[in-house]
Amino acid sequence: MVHDATVAPEPEFDPDSRDEQPDGALQTLIERLENEVSAFHLDSFDQADALALGLLLVDLATRRNLPVAIDIRRNEHILFHVSLPGATPDNELWVQRKSRTTERYAQPSLLVGLKGRLGGGRLEHNGWFDERRYASQGGAFPIFVKGTGHVATATVSGLPQKADHDLVVEALTTFLNRSKG
């Protein structure tokens, strides 16, 4: 007798869930994010590129009626910023805090938060982590230039943190494919 050995894929880790999640799900998501970081290294990135990426994010968000704030910056220098219908003043504060996290660690803010959960707990529970200045929730992603390193940060705020992160990754994927083409 032959049994179907099909196994359902493990659900992806949900950083917003308070429910118990499969043991390997956190590590699998961390690995996915680390691969995304490795994949997005541009040949160059200037203010015109920030505008193009920002407008691409605006297009994706407006077609889906997403109430988000979008920000692209080089440290404190704002290269692109917009608050779409439905976004709130709180989203602006989240943008600043997520961006600072990515600028400090040169990693996606979601990845910083997920790594803080390895071994249990949360990054925010550490006394040295200043939640007034930093946020380890998803939505900020570093922009790397080959041979230079981290040169800017693209941030989205207004959705659940993984959706904020995924919107930036989707836009960066499209942007990178257009620049190669």
pLDDT tens digit string along 132-161? 888 889 999 999 999 999 999 999 999 999
CA distance 85 to 70: 12
Architecture label for domain 43-180: 2-Layer Sandwich (3.30)
- Strand-strand pairing, 149-157 and 69-74: antiparallel
Q: Write down the domain spans for the chain.
A: 43-180
User: pTM of the entire structure?
Assistant: 0.90
CB 155 within 8 A of CB 140: yes
pLDDT tens digit string along 18-68? 888 877 898 999 999 999 999 999 999 999 999 999 999 999 999 999 999
Contacts of 179 (CB under 8 A, 6+ apart): 42, 43, 49
pLDDT tens digit string along 117-128? 776 666 665 656
CA distance 55 to 157: 16
Nearest to 70 by CA among 136, 169, 176, 168: 168
Partnered with residue 142 across adjacent β-strands are 153
